[in-house]
Each structure stands twice: as C-alpha cells, then as structure tokens.
C-alpha cells in the first residue's frame, strides 16, 4: 500500500479514533505502515492513528525532536497517562501546529485538551466525546503532515 491509501483509510475511519486506546484498529495496517518508505515519525503517527500505541512508542521514545515529543505526548494522553502526556507536551515547546489548531478551535491549548480528555474518561467533560475526537484527529493530521515535511526527523 501507498502512504496516501493508509492515510485516507485511517483518517476516514468510522468511528474516529477513541480518546483512550483499547486495541489496534486494523492489525493488517501495522505491516503496511512498517513497509512504507517514509520518515520514522510519519510511521509513528500512522501507528497512532491505527491505535497501535506500541508501534508509535517504539519510534517516539527514541526521538528527541519536538515532533517526537509531540507524538509521545499524544500517545500517553490516549494510553491514558495524563500526567506523563503533560510532561511530553512541556518538552514540545510552542509547536507550529498549535496555531493551526487554534484557527479552527480557538479554545484549544495542549494542557487544557489533556484535562478535557481526562474529564471525558471520567464522564464529566465540558466537551462532547464527538468534539474531542474530531479535534484529536485534526491534531494528529496536522502533526502527521508536519512530520511528513521532514522538518525534524531525528
């Protein structure tokens, strides 16, 4: 499979990726992702879109770039390990995709979003699950495209 085929499949899945990971969404995609001739952080993002926390973690944990820390932050948010997610978001710094997210979701801020996801997992969120999942997918889409541009692929 080609990148665009996997990308389209994972971004257009129904339902959208959950806030908390349970199982790999499509195990067949794991080998397709590994076979891609793409930067490692692109593969990390595709693994996470496929709900494969281990596949993403194996790549992100060894990458010290802002993008590697960002993928690490998202995977821990979805694990869920909310305090660890915030640790990794602190390591990200002010990432270029933050402003893109805030254009569509002005109230979005990484630490607040982690709190909203944690609240949702406890049934007391100010935001709907649907909205949170939509924002999460948009965040991963922006980060995936940023990673694909090869801005930092340590």
**Residues, the chain, total?**
154
**In this predicted structure, what is the pLDDT of residue 134?**
97
Residue 125 C-beta-side C-alpha neighbours within 13 Å: 20
pLDDT reading at 151 higher than 50:
no
Structure token pair of residue 98: 């933050």
**CA dist., res. 94 & res. 71, Å (int):** 14
- Domain annotation covers residue 86: yes
**In this predicted structure, what is the pLDDT of residue 63?**
95
Domain that holds residue 42: 3-148
pLDDT digits (tens, 9 = 90+) for 38-69: 999 999 999 999 999 999 999 999 999 999 99
DSSP H helices, the chain, are 3-11, 27-35, 40-49, 53-60, 66-78, 82-92, 96-104, 110-121, 129-148
pLDDT digits (tens, 9 = 90+) for 18-42: 999 999 999 999 999 999 999 999 9
* Contact call for residues 49 and 11 (beta carbons, < 8 A): yes
pLDDT digits (tens, 9 = 90+) for 73-86: 999 999 999 999 99
**CA dist., res. 149 & res. 146, Å (int):** 5
**In this predicted structure, what is the pLDDT of residue 150?**
72
- Domain annotation covers residue 143: yes
- Domain annotation covers residue 66: yes
- Domain annotation covers residue 77: yes
- Domain annotation covers residue 154: no
- For residue 152, the 8-state DSSP code is -
Q: How many domains does the chain have?
A: 1
- Domain annotation covers residue 153: no
* Contact call for residues 19 and 117 (beta carbons, < 8 A): yes
What pTM was computed for the model?
0.94
Phi and psi at residue 75, to the nearest 5°: -65, -40
């Amino acid at each position: 499979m080609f990148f665009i085929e996997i990308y389209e499949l994972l971004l257009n899945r129904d339902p959208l990726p959950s806030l908390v990971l349970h199982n790999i969404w499509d195990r067949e995609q794991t080998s397709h992702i590994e076979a891609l001739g793409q930067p490692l952080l692109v593969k990390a993002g595709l693994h996470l879109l496929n709900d494969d926390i281990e596949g993403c973690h194996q790549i992100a944990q060894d990458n010290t770039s802002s993008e590697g820390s960002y993928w690490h932050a998202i995977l821990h948010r979805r694990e869920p390990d909310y305090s660890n997610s915030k640790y990794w978001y602190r390591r990200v710094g002010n990432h270029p995709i933050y402003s893109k997210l805030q254009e569509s979701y002005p109230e979005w801020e990484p630490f607040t979003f982690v709190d909203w996801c944690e609240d949702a997992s406890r049934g007391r969120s100010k935001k709907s699950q649907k909205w949170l999942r939509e924002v999460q997918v948009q965040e991963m889409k922006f980060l995936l495209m940023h990673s694909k541009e090869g801005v930092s692929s340590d």
